Every structure is written in structure tokens, then in C-alpha cells.
């Protein structure tokens, strides 16, 4: 087991990579524990949960809502949860985001932790203290920064994940390598087959290195004033693809990273060889690199990006593999490049 810490304004978060769900009780007080899970993870893993009251939410982005939150508050009241209670979210990024937000707001804040059960939740969603819900179609519009006391990343739980969910996590893993560590990128290239076979030792290494990279960025810039923006590599165009094409987040981010890498090359930063390596690695991991998309529709979605400021977008470019820079790019320049490209 490996422990990495995130030090946020709200406190310290211990990320326990390689720890087991079966050991969850070791990190909990003796009583007043409430678990929150979803309709898929509950039936699969309840036999490993500590015996405590459990709240179950529906699966999918459509359940990351105020209604779900209200249902959780109702059940917390019915269970007589109070400031002495400890809440644990056991599930993917959705259970994490909703649990963290519910626990942070109920009675002005209860203690909470997570067991991350998807690859994406282990390398991304549960690390960094962002919690929240969607509102009226706007993703993650309402939320809080608040660090979970601990996160257990149990690699064994990934065996039951559908392949598409593995691919989503892999897209974020490649992102971490692209923005921060070229040796990590080479290691992923060298272990593609083992990754596809869900080799536990190799996955443990990936989760560990990705958590180290994300935790490092968050420790330097928790509230996304600067460096944390690098974690949006591939996401500006990725979000536009996700919205306009209705594909998964991982697929959209993969294609978004290829576009951002192309733009980096076009601007004289990233070499052609490194651009080709990024494209080839994503393709080997079963992720899309070249989408057939309506440029105008993607551009319209891009213009609605909530991260734009005064006609400019903070765009993440690569100077080289492992070295990201955040540069303001005029939306008009992006439009020209997109529509001509
Ligand atoms: N807070 C953050 O910093 C942050 C960062 C990235 C993403 N997110 C959020 O995370 C969410 C996506 O998370 P996700 O990809 O984990 O999706 P998810 O939570 O919807 O999980 C994907 C599916 O896999 C199922 N599942 C979970 N664990 C399983 C297991 N071990 N075996 C079999 N099935 C399992 C779930 O029930 C669900 O149906 C999005 O809402 C996104 O906004 C948050
Ligand atoms: Zn993402």
C-alpha cells in the first residue's frame, strides 16, 4: 500500500493506493458511520462493506442532481445523522462528487471519506477535493472544495468494470503523463498489453503515478488559479466533443488531447515525433484519435465553455511530452484553426 497526501485548505487527505475495501473499517470511527453507494456497486461489493446503514443512489450523470442530494439529506435525517457521523462514498466519480457535496453541506459539514471503485475515480475524481452536482444541464455547476479525510483506491475492484469505463480512466492517465512526466508516458507505451489485460501490478503503478501527479498539482494550486488548469489538457475541445457528439468523457478527452497536441505542434512547440507518439498510444489503448465532427457545432459548444474569459480561453498546450503550458488563446484564433484545419 502506498500513501500520498493532499494538503488542502480544508485539511489533509490521505490517498491510499493499493489499500483494500475490506480494510475500510480501519479508517473509520467505531460507530455513527453511513455509507453511500450506487445501484451497481452496492450489489457487487456489499459483502465487503462494513455493516452500517447504506444509502443507495441511481447510476449515471442524470442522478448527479439536486433531487438525489435532497433524497440523501432525507435519509440522513431519518438515520439521525449528526455532527458525530462519518460518511463514506463507495463508488465511481458520481458517488464521490455527490457524497462529498452532501457530507460537506449537511449540518454545515460532516466528516467523510471515499472508496474509489472506477479507474477514473481512483486517478482523478476523488483526488483534489472538488465535490458537486450538475444543475439544469450545466455540469458540476454547484459544489464545494473540501478534502475527503481518506480515499481508498482498491485496484482489485477494477476487475468488474466494463471496458469503456477502463478506457475513460486511461484517457486521464495518458493526460497526466503528457502534462507532467515523459518517463511515465514511455512506461505506459511499454505496458499497453498488460494494461489491456488489467494486470494488477501494472494498474497499481499507473494509479500511483497518476495520483502523485494530480496530488502534486493540487498541492501547489488547490483552487485552480494557475497550475491546476494544466489538468484540463484535452478538455477544452473534449467537453465540446462530449456535448456535440454525445460520446463518453474519456473518448472525448482522447480526441481533445490529439487536437491540443496538433495545435501545440502547429504553434511550433511539440515535435512531430511526440505528436505521433501521443496519437499512437491513445489508439493502442482503444481510444479515438480522429473524430468525424461538425466543426461548426463543436465551435458553438466551445464558445459556451464556462472557463472562457473575455473572448479568450486558457488553453493547455504541450511544449514537449511531459511539459504543459497554459496559454490564453483568442476564441477567434481557435475558430480559424478549427474551421481551416
Ligand atoms: N471531482 C473531480 O475532481 C472530478 C474529476 C473528474 C471527474 N469527475 C466526475 O466523475 C464522474 C465520472 O466518474 P466515473 O467515470 O467514475 O463514473 P460513474 O461514477 O458513473 O461510474 C461509472 C459506472 O461504473 C459503475 N461502477 C463503478 N465501480 C464499478 C466497479 N468496480 N465494477 C463495476 N461497475 C462499477 C457505476 O455504477 C457506473 O454505472 C463525472 O460526473 C465527473 O464529472 C469529478
Ligand atoms: Zn476528465
Is 139 one of the catalytic residues?
A: no
> Do 82 and 181 sit in the same domain of this protein?
no
> Do 87 and 188 sit in the same domain of this protein?
no
- Please give the backbone phi and psi of residue 14, each rounded to the nearest 5 degrees, phi first: -100, 120
> Do 127 and 150 sit in the same domain of this protein?
yes
- Given 110, 129, 160, which residue is the final one in a domain? 160
> Do 15 and 136 sit in the same domain of this protein?
yes
Residue 288, pLDDT above cutoff 90: yes
What integer pLDDT is reported at residue 300 of this predicted model? 82
pLDDT in tens, 7-55: 999 899 999 999 999 999 999 999 999 999 999 999 999 999 999 999 9
pLDDT in tens, 202-254: 999 999 999 999 999 999 999 998 899 999 999 999 998 998 888 999 999 99
Angular region, 180: left φ>0, alpha ψ -120 to 50, beta rest: alpha
> Do 105 and 167 sit in the same domain of this protein?
no
Cβ(324)–Cβ(335) below 8 Å: no
Q: Which ligand 1 atom sits nearest the alpha carbon of residue 250?
A: 15
Q: Which ligand is nearest to the CA of 173?
A: 2
> Do 15 and 140 sit in the same domain of this protein?
yes
State the total domains in the chain: 2
Is 232 one of the catalytic residues?
A: yes
* Furthest-apart CA atoms within the chain: distance in Å: 62
> Do 100 and 40 sit in the same domain of this protein?
yes
SS3 258: helix
> Do 180 and 151 sit in the same domain of this protein?
no
Q: Per-residue pLDDT averaged across 293-303, rounded?
A: 81
Which of 229, 249, 265, 277 does the annotation list as catalytic? 249
Is 224 one of the catalytic residues?
A: yes
Q: How confident is the model at residue 340 (pLDDT cuts 50, 70, 90)?
A: confident
| Sheet bearing 308-309, strands edge to edge | 308-309, 312-320, 323-330
Task: Tell me the C-alpha distance between 166 and 247, whole Å.
Answer: 15
CA-closest residue to ligand 1 atom 30: 161
53: domain range?
Answer: 2-160
Ligand 1 centroid, distance to 64 Cα (angstroms): 11
> Do 143 and 172 sit in the same domain of this protein?
no
> Do 140 and 197 sit in the same domain of this protein?
no
SS3 247: coil
Is 108 one of the catalytic residues?
A: yes
Task: Tell me the C-alpha distance between 47 and 21, whole Å.
Answer: 10
- Given 139, 160, 181, which residue is the final one in a domain? 160
pLDDT in tens, 164-186: 999 999 999 999 999 999 999 99
What integer pLDDT is reported at residue 253 of this predicted model? 97
> Do 174 and 101 sit in the same domain of this protein?
no
Cβ(177)–Cβ(188) below 8 Å: yes
Q: What is the CATH number of the domain that holds 211?
A: 1.20.1090.10
pTM for this prediction: 0.96
Q: Per-residue pLDDT averaged across 99-117, rounded?
A: 98
Residue 341, pLDDT above cutoff 70: no
- Please give the backbone phi and psi of residue 321, each rounded to the nearest 5 degrees, phi first: -60, 125
Which of 205, 214, 229, 230 does the annotation list as catalytic? 214
| C-alpha R_g of the chain | 20
Is 295 one of the catalytic residues?
A: no
Cβ(13)–Cβ(6) below 8 Å: yes
Does residue 171's CB lie within 6 angstroms of at least one atom of ligand 1? no
Q: How confident is the model at residue 91 (pLDDT cuts 50, 70, 90)?
A: very high
Does residue 91's CB lie within 6 angstroms of at least one atom of ligand 1? yes
> Do 284 and 190 sit in the same domain of this protein?
yes
- Given 136, 160, 184, which residue is the final one in a domain? 160
What integer pLDDT is reported at residue 296 of this predicted model? 83
What integer pLDDT is reported at residue 307 of this predicted model? 66
Amino acid at each position: 500500500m502506498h500513501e500520498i497526501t493532499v494538503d488542502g485548505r480544508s485539511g489533509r487527505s490521505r490517498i491510499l493506493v493499493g489499500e483494500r475495501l475490506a480494510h475500510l473499517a480501519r479508517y473509520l470511527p467505531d460507530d455513527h458511520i453511513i455509507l453511500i453507494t450506487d445501484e451497481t456497486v452496492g450489489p457487487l461489493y456489499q459483502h465487503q462493506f462494513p455493516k452500517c446503514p447504506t444509502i443507495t443512489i441511481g447510476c449515471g450523470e442524470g442522478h448527479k442532481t439536486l433531487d438525489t442530494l435532497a433524497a440523501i439529506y432525507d435519509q440522513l435525517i431519518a438515520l439521525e445523522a449528526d455532527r458525530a457521523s462519518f460518511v463514506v462514498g463507495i463508488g465511481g466519480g458520481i458517488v464521490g462528487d455527490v457524497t462529498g457535496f452532501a457530507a460537506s453541506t449537511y449540518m454545515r459539514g460532516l466528516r467523510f471519506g471515499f472508496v474509489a471503485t472506477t479507474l477514473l475515480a481512483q486517478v482523478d475524481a476523488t483526488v483534489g477535493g472538488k465535490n458537486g452536482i450538475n444543475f439544469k444541464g450545466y455540469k458540476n455547476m454547484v459544489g464545494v472544495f473540501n478534502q475527503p479525510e481518506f480515499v481508498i483506491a482498491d485496484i482489485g475492484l477494477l476487475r468488474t468494470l466494463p471496458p469503456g469505463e477502463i478506457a475513460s480512466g486511461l484517457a486521464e492517465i495518458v493526460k497526466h503523463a503528457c502534462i507532467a512526466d515523459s518517463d511515465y508516458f514511455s512506461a505506459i507505451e511499454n505496458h499497453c498489453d498488460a494494461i489491456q489485460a488489467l494486470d494488477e501490478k501494472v494498474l497499481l503503478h499507473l494509479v500511483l503515478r497518476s495520483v502523485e501527479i494530480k496530488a502534486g498539482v493540487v498541492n501547489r494550486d488547490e483552487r485552480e488559479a494557475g497550475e491546476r488548469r494544466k489538468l484540463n489538457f484535452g478538455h477544452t475541445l473534449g467537453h465540446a466533443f462530449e456535448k456535440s457528439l454525445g460520446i463518453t468523457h474519456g473518448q472525448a478527452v482522447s480526441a481533445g488531447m490529439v487536437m491540443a497536441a496538433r495545435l501545440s505542434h502547429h504553434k511550433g512547440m511539440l515535435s512531430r515525433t511526440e505528436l505521433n507518439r501521443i496519437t499512437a498510444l491513445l489508439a493502442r489503448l482503444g481510444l479515438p484519435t480522429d473524430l468525424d465532427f461538425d466543426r461548426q457545432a463543436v465551435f458553438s459548444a466551445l464558445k459556451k465553455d464556462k472557463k472562457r474569459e473575455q473572448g479568450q480561453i486558457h488553453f493547455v498546450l504541450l511544449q514537449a511530452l511531459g511539459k504543459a503550458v497554459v496559454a490564453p488563446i483568442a476564441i477567434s484564433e481557435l475558430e480559424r484553426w478549427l474551421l481551416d484545419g
